[in-house]
Structure 1
């Protein structure tokens, strides 16, 4: 019979919120919030030039606003639980993948401007993903393991 393993203290399962991580999250907050506001308000005006359905643009806008709220909340914490920190990175990676799958699926027929828009926002989110992952893997990550 083996002895029970002591639970790992919560502090060891969380990343301290340092300047690099907070900055990476807040830049994502600003971009997600701005895109969310723009798409929620102007979905009707953007649908034709982008060749994307108005309802899709409006839903994406609302999702971006919610995501910005989650990121803002995370950025205000003194410590970020590992599952939340890596969940943010994975959420951004999934967004990039979903954007590319949407284009490849044939479910939408974007104009050249719409294609550029989807690709540009996916590239921007990919940049956030990398910046956040690098911030988590920085020198202090060894103490979080």
Structure 2
């Protein structure tokens, strides 16, 4: 029987990747906790339904925690980072689609929030990609 393992990145060659994962974890987790704690207030401020912000808050909090765990591992799976980057790209695409299609009656502040989050997530993804390339 032949066993194979996914390519991985060790501790010594992953400084930028670890930084990118931690930065993403902090931003994502903090955002998720804010949504959970203030969904009703944010819903009115941004024009987003609180019923949407609660599950998004749960997802973002869990995703942020998973990113912290991934970034702290002695060996980082390139496949796992690929999944993280794919989720991030989907977030950016969904954000753009939400703006273009007018899924929600966003306020000006809500529109700015969606754009800022998409830009931040795109930046996290670019850093993760650069970290993978260096590793």
| Structure 1 Cα separation of the partners of residues 117 and 102 of structure 2 | 19
| C-alpha distance in 2 between matches for 1:57 and 1:20 | 31
Q: Distance in 2 between matches of 1:87 and 1:95?
A: 12
Structure 1-normalised TM-score? 0.85
Q: 1:28 matched to which residue of 2?
A: 24
The structural deviation recorded for 1:7 is 4.8
**Which of 110, 115, 126 lines up with 2:106 in the alignment?**
110
Deviations 1:46-66 (A, max 9, x none): 111111111112221111101
C-alpha distance in 1 between matches for 2:99 and 2:111: 8
3-state SS of paired residue (2:9)? strand
Q: Is 1:52 aligned to residue 48 of structure 2?
A: yes
1:36-55 CA-partner distances (Å, limit 9, x unpaired) = 11110000011111111111
The number of aligned residues is 133
Aligned pairs (5 A) from 1:23-102: 23-102=19-98
- Report 1 or 2 for greater relative contact order, CA contacts < 8 Å, sequence distance ≥ 6: 2
Per the alignment, residue 131 of structure 2 pairs with 135
Equivalent residue for 2:7?
13
Unaligned ranges ≥5, structure 1: 141-145
Higher helix content, 1 or 2:
2
When Rg is computed on C-alpha atoms for both structures, the one with the higher figure is 1
Distance in 2, matches of 1:73 and 1:90, equals 18
Residue 103 of structure 2 aligns to a residue in which SS? coil
Q: Which residue matches 1:143?
A: none
Runs ≥4 in structure 1, deviation > 4 angstroms?
A: none
TM-score of the pair, normalised by structure 2: 0.91
